[in-house]
Structure 1
């Protein structure tokens, strides 16, 4: 071990912890450090190199996240065996099992393909079981969640969110919980008012109802909420927050362009209206600036890993406007103390793993294969789709009403959602349905479900039913 270290660390513009990690990483790659070799204790190596113990500890943490070394309680830190290659065996078994069972195909909500995330989670659970026992014994704390917040900040670093760091990130129990925590932070008074688009994610309405809020819909077009309609709604009824899904509109799959976002920001500033951006359905790169970058003083942001890696962990991320992070943290801490430490640590391991970005890319590619099948079968109808959106939006042809079509589809063994589910109870919904991708059935079985829907579309009932 002594032979890999220089007399002093070479000059570098980067941080010293990254330089230490790089020296060890290269030594592992060229076999100067072999599997099982023990690294020096943190304090010993810090003394030898003339740096702080914290610098060495951070280098070791980075290498642990990369899977190159592993810490064993009471023994020390060792060079880890090579990582297990990511394979799709779990997904293959899942698909084969689902295909053999027969029965209905649920296309209510997106179900992700497994492109290695199950293997990563399995490895993470093993590492979690070997970690510091305090992870399994103590309450979550703000300091304890810092490594996860730092991992989230790195995960979101390329997003056009405006300035933020790990201290701005609040960990929640999924995106829906993030929406609820933001409402708890923002809304005041006995009957606050929330504004949503005519068609939108039903979770806005449900979270608002829990807060005893009045939820009002605002006119929208193909680009999202209409700024003039928002201005009119605020002038006539007042409101405290407007909820939007601009990057991937749920349920239509539309995208809000930059000019529309700027126009809505202008209205919000004129009326001192807060903005909540739900970005949970974006799986690729953001195409334009987020609301938090456009209106950093009033825009709240929430996302999760449910549509990119897995919904099973129920972990989401909320970010407040500038100078309001403390309020958001307080609402979360008062509500549930924090995300359970084992879940937080497992999520940190997942987001910090060098293989995870590649897995997420393969998940996107896998889901795009299902979208391609849906478009090939249903493309001659009025279909809105995007290869990186895990559902398609189908405007029904003459002869069908959405409720009747959903009932007929269910009788044919395919479960889909009517546009009515995305409107307020007394609102008007278009004659359309949302068809989600189910990556946990085989492509052949998914294609069969699409062909059953096409058969219904080609043969509407003689009498229109509702």
Structure 2
């Protein structure tokens, strides 16, 4: 094995993966490395050059992208016998088609979805729909058209929440629903309790509205009640943001008893609760919503549901149910941000709910989630919580002695993109050694199986000492 002649240059503090990849590419061009030669292991080169393993991984990934090397899990990275045609200096992000990106949490799609979309557009294009098209071409009420709000009430009823359509405000997906709820409920400086691992989008909102987030510990059933009670008192919290069903990223589902305890504490501590119900339709048996229980106690709560996580992410329509006294503030927040929710998307969503398409696509999604969950459990079952319920994301524990960032880098070098734990951590807490897989993001089951196979091989290879480099 030949030595690598970049150690002195790579020790510079300004060293980047681009420079390392260019230096290695230069040595390949000059013949220092011949086709079939093995490059140093990620760990060995990182130690030799004084850079992070992740930096070496990205450098090797770039060399693979431009066709100079190929990686084999468990064996190493080798100079290709027939270099690809791409120029060495074309240091750009690899094309999406060459990767399997499981970092974006979205539902799976199929020909069934394509047909539903086509049918919806054909219906709107029909000559008989001219009056409707002219209506949709005009400004609508900020809370949404009443028939669209009626469809929202029907959607909420599919998983057990009965709401008057007058109490619903439409939004452009869950994220805007969260934004308008936060705008109505809190003020800069307010303390809001969230799960100590939470979706990054809410952290972004908290920063935008200058809220102080406090992470509350969880167990396999979600928020730990005693910790919530203590933090609410100690921090003078104004609110609680939570995802009781299929929590993102852990997948935890609060059982009935846990929900009752959270409601009791929230009521006693006067917390305004924002309940993200994006994944509730995955429940095979509906569970009582926090909104429902708190409203029965005359306590303020928001409930947000959408089609984006269970039907189709491109149809960005959500239904926000605010406290009775905050409806005008929430509708006003829609006006202040987007004036109205796009009427065309709202019409498609409503049409699907009324004619049953949304429910059929949800049933398909549940079935597909079970199948994809089974694929992952078949290879990585030991890393999954035993009672994890199928939805479109899974939380995998990284086995010792490895770290999540090392596994992420090795998978990335093989074209599989996963979500790092740091993306979900609240405050300065230490990130757990775990990885989130977004199962619905894979194009199909075969693609997911390929990604899981890469991850399994990386994890299995991680138990084998890296080959010596001389």
TM-score (norm 2): 0.72
How far apart, CA to CA, are the structure 2 residues paired with 1:156 and 1:117? 21
Q: What's the secondary structure of 1:295's corresponding residue?
A: helix
Deviation at 1:382, TM superposition (A): 4.2
Taking structure 1 as reference, are residues 215 and 335 closer, same or farther at Cα in structure 2, changes over 3 Å only?
same
1:135 and 1:342 in contact (8 A); partners too: no
How far apart, CA to CA, are the structure 2 residues paired with 1:128 and 1:449? 39
Q: What's the secondary structure of 1:294's corresponding residue?
A: helix
* Aligned twin of 1:272: 270
How far apart, CA to CA, are the structure 2 residues paired with 1:166 and 1:136? 19
How far apart, CA to CA, are the structure 2 residues paired with 1:231 and 1:102? 48
Q: What's the secondary structure of 2:282's corresponding residue?
A: coil
Deviation at 1:158, TM superposition (A): 3.6
- 2:209 matched to 1:211? yes
Taking only aligned residues, the RMSD between alpha carbons, in angstroms, comes to: 2.3
How far apart, CA to CA, are the structure 1 residues paired with 2:181 and 2:415? 38
* Aligned twin of 1:238: 236
* Aligned twin of 1:257: 255
1:392-445 CA deviation, whole Å, 9 max, x = no partner? 211111121111111111112111112221102512221111111146523223
The answer to which of 280-289 and 302-311 deviates more is: 280-289
How far apart, CA to CA, are the structure 2 residues paired with 1:384 and 1:390? 16
Alignment of 1:299-314 (within 5 A): 299-314=301-316
The answer to which of 439-448 and 334-343 deviates more is: 439-448
How far apart, CA to CA, are the structure 2 residues paired with 1:327 and 1:212? 19
Taking structure 1 as reference, are residues 380 and 215 closer, same or farther at Cα in structure 2, changes over 3 Å only?
closer
* Aligned twin of 1:284: 282
- 2:288 matched to 1:294? no
- 2:136 matched to 1:140? no
Taking structure 1 as reference, are residues 179 and 143 closer, same or farther at Cα in structure 2, changes over 3 Å only?
closer
Deviation at 1:323, TM superposition (A): 4.0
* Aligned twin of 2:191: 193
Deviation at 1:166, TM superposition (A): 0.7
How far apart, CA to CA, are the structure 2 residues paired with 1:143 and 1:232? 37
How far apart, CA to CA, are the structure 1 residues paired with 2:219 and 2:287? 19
1:283 and 1:388 in contact (8 A); partners too: no
Q: What's the secondary structure of 1:148's corresponding residue?
A: helix
- 2:404 matched to 1:409? no
2:221 and 2:252 in contact (8 A); partners too: yes
1:191 and 1:213 in contact (8 A); partners too: yes
TM-score (norm 1): 0.73
How far apart, CA to CA, are the structure 2 residues paired with 1:340 and 1:382? 39
* Aligned twin of 1:159: 159
The answer to which of 424-433 and 178-187 deviates more is: 424-433
1:184 and 1:331 in contact (8 A); partners too: yes
Aligned to 1:348, which of 347, 350, 354? 350
Alignment of 1:10-409 (within 5 A): 103-109=98-104, 110-114=106-110, 116-130=112-126, 131=129, 132=131, 133-141=133-141, 145-161=145-161, 163-188=162-187, 190-285=188-283, 287-296=286-295, 297-383=299-385, 386=388, 388-409=390-411
Deviation at 1:170, TM superposition (A): 0.8
Q: What's the secondary structure of 2:304's corresponding residue?
A: strand
* Aligned twin of 2:28: none
How far apart, CA to CA, are the structure 1 residues paired with 2:418 and 2:361? 28
How far apart, CA to CA, are the structure 2 residues paired with 1:389 and 1:144? 30
How far apart, CA to CA, are the structure 2 residues paired with 1:265 and 1:357? 29
1:368 and 1:388 in contact (8 A); partners too: yes
Deviation at 1:356, TM superposition (A): 3.5
Deviation at 1:369, TM superposition (A): 1.6
How far apart, CA to CA, are the structure 1 residues paired with 2:334 and 2:218? 32
- 2:439 matched to 1:431? no
2:393 and 2:437 in contact (8 A); partners too: yes
- Which residues of structure 1 form unaligned runs of 5+? 1-100
1:275-306 CA deviation, whole Å, 9 max, x = no partner? 11111123323542000111112221111111
* Aligned twin of 1:58: none
- Which residues of structure 2 form unaligned runs of 5+? 1-95
2:100 and 2:442 in contact (8 A); partners too: no
Deviation at 1:344, TM superposition (A): 1.8
Length, aligned pairs only = 362
* Aligned twin of 2:16: none
* Aligned twin of 2:43: none
Deviation at 1:111, TM superposition (A): 4.2
The answer to which of 406-415 and 418-427 deviates more is: 418-427
2:144 and 2:341 in contact (8 A); partners too: no
Aligned to 1:458, which of 457, 460, 463? 460
* Aligned twin of 1:36: none
How far apart, CA to CA, are the structure 1 residues paired with 2:315 and 2:343? 12
How far apart, CA to CA, are the structure 2 residues paired with 1:393 and 1:143? 36
* Aligned twin of 2:77: none
